[in-house]
Amino acid sequence: MNEPQAYPTKASIFAYFAHQATPLERQQIESWLTTDQGATLYFTYLDEWERQHPQFQPDLNRAHERFTQFMNKTNQVSESGHFNAELLLSEPLLTVQSKNWLRSYGWLAMAASIVLVGGLWLSVEFWYYTTWSNGYHQLQSIQLPDGSAVELGAHSSLRYPRFGFGWGTRHVWLTGEAQFQITHQANAQRFQVHTPDQTIIEVLGTVFVVNSRRNTTRVMLKTGRISMTTPQSNQPLMLTPGDLVTVTVGQTLHKQKADTLSAQVTWHDHQFVFHDTPLQDIVVQLHDTFGVTVQIPQTELMNRTVSGTFQAETAADLLQALKLMMNLEVDDSPTGFTLTQSIQ
């Protein structure tokens, strides 16, 4: 066709995506796709059309969190050596079996087994450990193989060895927040909780809460006796019931009596207890528990304190209660909530 091209309109392209284009429109689009402009614009329109006609609503936050975790992990892997980077590059996208492939490219099988071994090594986290993860809004009770009970908080995960848990010291790894109720073993076997900032909490039989987020670990002991070691401390710190210890990266341990600080231990009943808690701390808790962003533009409002017990299953519930109590304006936008003092 040498005659000047007639470009299809956006409307007919959208009709084409919806399988409603006429044969003539189709033909127009087919020849338009052979032009540079068409080949690029096609995807621009496809994207626009897809945004207008979503087929379902995937959970972006959850997927995004997994993706950033993946990026953080693999970044470290490729930084640790050239060999690993090569290994990753030779791994096929999807593992699909084909007889032909094996026969004619026998040497590739060798490369594949290297990839497999490497893959096993890289995926050691997956097959060696049992992992429990919670999304936002989720709470979960976990029974460990030794009978210890764990209440895993929202947006948290707990990992322990799939095999041999309970032979020797029991090790678990926690990100986020959880309450542990450890069973005492006859042979006085130890139980250790590891957190991302390298803090180790060691236990005999006891009940305690660990919150480890943003490089800070908070431990509250309810009953029993535990000892803690951190990368900064040389000798373990002993805790007695009621103690609340905060560990921040690059700083020393901070120990206080937690008699008025039950705020941290009631989240597993969807309950929030505040005792003169500044609004800015509540915002942080909201983020940890529900994954929502709350902004407070006014500094003086950030420092206002709240006391009381709130039953809230969603962030909106809690904000609604705070709104009524403190006479606030709550602004709900797609990026998060904004709190302001309402003007009388």
Partner 1 sequence: MAPVLPFDLPGDNFPQQLHPDQDAGAVPPKPDDELLIRHAFQTDPYQGCDLLFRRYYHPLCSQAVRFVYDKALAEDIVAELFQTFWQKRIYERIDYSYRAYLYRAVRQNCLLYLQREAGQTISTEQLIPSDLLIEPVSPSDQIQFDELNERIEGTINALSPPVRRVFLLSRFEGRKNQEIADELHISLKTVEAHVTKALALFRKVLLS
Which residues contribute to the site for partner 1 (CB under 8 A)? 4-13, 16-17, 19, 29-30, 32-44, 46-47, 50-51, 53-58, 60, 63-64, 66-68, 70-71, 74-75, 78, 88-89, 92-94, 96, 98-101, 105
Using DSSP's 3-state secondary structure scheme, residue 274 falls into strand
Rounded least distance, CB 134 to partner 1, Å = 18
Tell me the closest approach of the beta carbon of residue 191 to partner 1, in angstroms. Answer: 35
Q: Which is nearer to partner 1, 56 or 163 (CB)?
A: 56
Nearer of residues 49 and 129 to partner 1, judged by Cβ: 49
Nearer to partner 1, 68 or 260 (CB): 68
Q: Which is nearer to partner 1, 37 or 298 (CB)?
A: 37
- For every residue of 205-242, DSSP letters joined together read SEEEEEEEETTEEEEEEEES-EEEE-SS-SSPEEE-TT
Q: Which is nearer to partner 1, 53 or 254 (CB)?
A: 53
Residue 17: phi and psi, rounded to 5, are -60, -35
From the CB of 45, what's the least distance to partner 1, in Å? 9
User: Strands, DSSP E only, in the chain?
Assistant: 129-133, 140-143, 149-152, 157-161, 170-182, 191-194, 200-203, 206-213, 216-223, 226-229, 237-239, 243-248, 254-257, 271-278, 294-295, 305-311, 328-333, 336-341
Q: Which CB, 92 or 168, lies closer to partner 1?
A: 92
What is the nearest approach in angstroms of partner 1 to the Cβ of residue 15? 12
- Shortest distance, position 27 Cβ to partner 1, whole Å: 11
DSSP states of 115-176: HHHHHHHHTHHHHHEEEEE--TT--EEEE-TTS-EEEE-TT-EEEEESSSTTSSSEEEEEEE
Enumerate residues 6+ apart whose C-beta is below 8 A from 257: 242, 243, 244
CB 179 → partner 1: shortest distance, Å? 31
